[in-house]
Structure 1
Amino acid sequence: MPELPEVQALVDFLDERLAGLAVETLELASFSVLKTFDPPPQSLEGAPVDGVHRHGKFLDIDCDGTHLVFHLARAGWLRFSEELPRTMLRPGKSPIALRLRLSDGSGFVLTEAGTKKSLAAYLVRDLAEVPGVARLGPDPLSDDFTRAVFGELLAERSAQVKGVLRDQSIIAGVGNAYSDEILHVARLSPFALAARLTDTEVDALYEALRTTLQRAVETASGKPAAQLKDAKRAGMRVHGRTGEECPVCGDVVREVSFADSSLQYCATCQTGGKPLADRRTSKFLK
């Protein structure tokens, strides 16, 4: 799933590429991907692109006051082409869910692999009409996201810090992968309770959050969409690296599996050497 750094890279690319252009057509190959019915897709025809923005993990293309907003979810992706084909989209015949053609013939498609469909697009006049955007917490890279603000957010939550970092209503843009990376940099257990962190631990977590995301944004910047997934994987220290050596201490990277996801961590760096058990059976291995 693309998270804040990859989404920001897509936004920067589209903002530069779509500048000065207008929408020719918005076509749907999967009618379920569009979660709104008013305004209709035809309303974008001829509308100039005024800008591209990011809200958490949502991409927002502002077309003369009408916003095409989409969330790529777990298996969605964006593919840009300098010359889109003119063939008609056939529902269910390809991974393509949506196609946006621009006035110069270029454009992009949104694709989704697998059988579990969660890619979502919205056409709205007001961003508050997109439920996921309306309930977003603050952006962790904004100037207003200070250590004091972060500390207050944590103090109000008795949940595990891993879940707090991933909760989009608390902090916008961080997902499973970067929460693993942030916690490893901060040397904190993913199961630590947010409200019980010491001031020193909150300091370390705040610094890890900001620096990890900023470095990832810088790494992703300027890369074409086709390279972003590989660049993200290559930059991971622990996430997705179960069984490999921790780059800090040399211990083995461990994993905790859940029903539909998993987390990775280093016991030496993060849990005082104690391996975490699978949460489906117990809290810790004694």
Structure 2
Amino acid sequence: MFNSWIAVKSPNFLLTCSNVTLAIVLPPSGTNIVTQLYDALLKKQEKTSHIFEIRPINDRIFVPNKDGNMPELPEITSRAIEMNKELTGKTIQAFEVLQPKCLNVTPDELNQFLNHSVIDSVTHHGKWIMAHTTQGWLLINLGMGGEILLVNRKQMPAKYKLVIDFTDQTCLAINFWWFGYVHFCALDGLTNHPMIAKLGPNVLDLSEEVFTNLIKNQKGKVKAFLLDQSRVAGIGNAYVHDILFMAKLHPNRLIASLSATEISALFKGIQDGLRPSLTKGGAFYEMNLYGEKGGFQMEDIIIGYRENTPCPQCGAPIQKIKTGSTSSFICSTCQPES
């Protein structure tokens, strides 16, 4: 899965399939080409085990070195909790779709399937927000970033790609920075959804025993494992550096070389790396349902994106290193490769 930029001069987009990342350089008029490519990859994905991602290099996306950070488990979990609180019991009146490409059905079909349905609950799986209604699932993925805002129709935000109107005059305004999804799924169809069906379990839902049994049977490197959404879902580039630092593990460590103590430390690192942000409603570069920024600030990040600053534990300078097609922030003293 994608987790960081590669060093290419002035690319507009990055395309990733499995562990291969390609830089795409296009003029602004070339965006339609990327959209067409994205659609083709989604169709291909339905027939393969690969998960594709295309991401823009966009100044709106957080971090000093312009690493691309999608909403991750703390942000998506926070949105799902907020939506479950606010939307449960609401009746969908209509959908206004300004970006039909985000749908897996036509706008008319979406209205036909879900109009007059009542939202029973809202949960999430990985980076998908899942609203269970009386007539089917409404699935939302913010993709490369965006906002989901609960507003009144008379107080709409400046930008949105899709609006869900409710019978109580409130609405959900959804905006994607670039690509995102709003999918319909039949009540019994989640196991056949081409993207959700491939996801591993939510990483924070795992007990230490289950996590240990899961990881000890895996191959490859520890960072690649954490970022592979088909193995465990929810971790991305924003949090993985601190998780590995707290576990004292180099991102290139082979899973097969991990001791029981190190696996336990990794489990604890995942908890300590994600739960503080979840408690604060997610990262500061993402907006909640009410238009407020998340409370997890840049100063809450321990070593991620802090190249050349002293390690908070040993004082050695934090390094930015190449790990495959991605970059990682590490303390080489606290996280030896061997």
Q: Distance in 2 between matches of 1:36 and 1:242?
A: 45
Match of 1:184 among 245, 270, 278: 245
Match of 2:310 among 242, 245, 248: 245
C-alpha deviation, 1:52, in angstroms: 0.6
Q: How large is the RMSD of aligned CA atoms in angstroms?
A: 2.8
Per the normalisation by structure 1, the TM-score is 0.80
Cα distance change of structure 1 residues 30 and 12 upon mapping to structure 2, 3 Å threshold = same
Superposed CA deviations along residues 50-82 of structure 1, whole A, max 9, x for unmatched, are: 1111111110111214111021122x2223143
SS in 1 for 2:218: coil
Q: Distance in 1 between matches of 2:128 and 2:171?
A: 18
Cα distance change of structure 1 residues 264 and 197 upon mapping to structure 2, 3 Å threshold = same
C-alpha deviation, 1:176, in angstroms: 1.5
Percent identity between matched residues is 25
C-alpha deviation, 1:10, in angstroms: 0.5
Per the normalisation by structure 2, the TM-score is 0.69
C-alpha deviation, 1:204, in angstroms: 0.7
Cross-structure match for 2:273:
212
Contact 1:141 1:210 in 2 (8 A): yes
C-alpha deviation, 1:187, in angstroms: 0.9
Superposed CA deviations along residues 231-282 of structure 1, whole A, max 9, x for unmatched, are: 254432122333333333333222235798532222222127x9xxxxxxxx
Contact 1:79 1:109 in 2 (8 A): yes
Cross-structure match for 2:129:
59
Please give the residue correspondences for 1:136-151 in structure 2 after superposition, counting only pairs within 5 Å. 136-142=199-205, 145-151=206-212
Q: Does 1:41 align with 2:104?
A: no
SS in 2 for 1:101: strand
| Structure 2 residues without counterparts, runs of 5 or longer | 1-69
Cross-structure match for 1:159:
220
Cross-structure match for 1:256:
321
Equivalent pairs counted in the alignment come to 261
Superposed CA deviations along residues 207-228 of structure 1, whole A, max 9, x for unmatched, are: 111232223222227x834444
SS in 2 for 1:268: coil
Cross-structure match for 1:107:
171
SS in 2 for 1:13: helix
| Structure 1 residues without counterparts, runs of 5 or longer | 275-286
SS in 1 for 2:310: coil
Please give the residue correspondences for 1:82-101 in structure 2 after superposition, counting only pairs within 5 Å. 82-85=151-154, 96-101=160-165
C-alpha deviation, 1:108, in angstroms: 2.2
Instruction: Write the letter of the residue equivalent to 1:104.
Output: D
SS in 1 for 2:163: strand
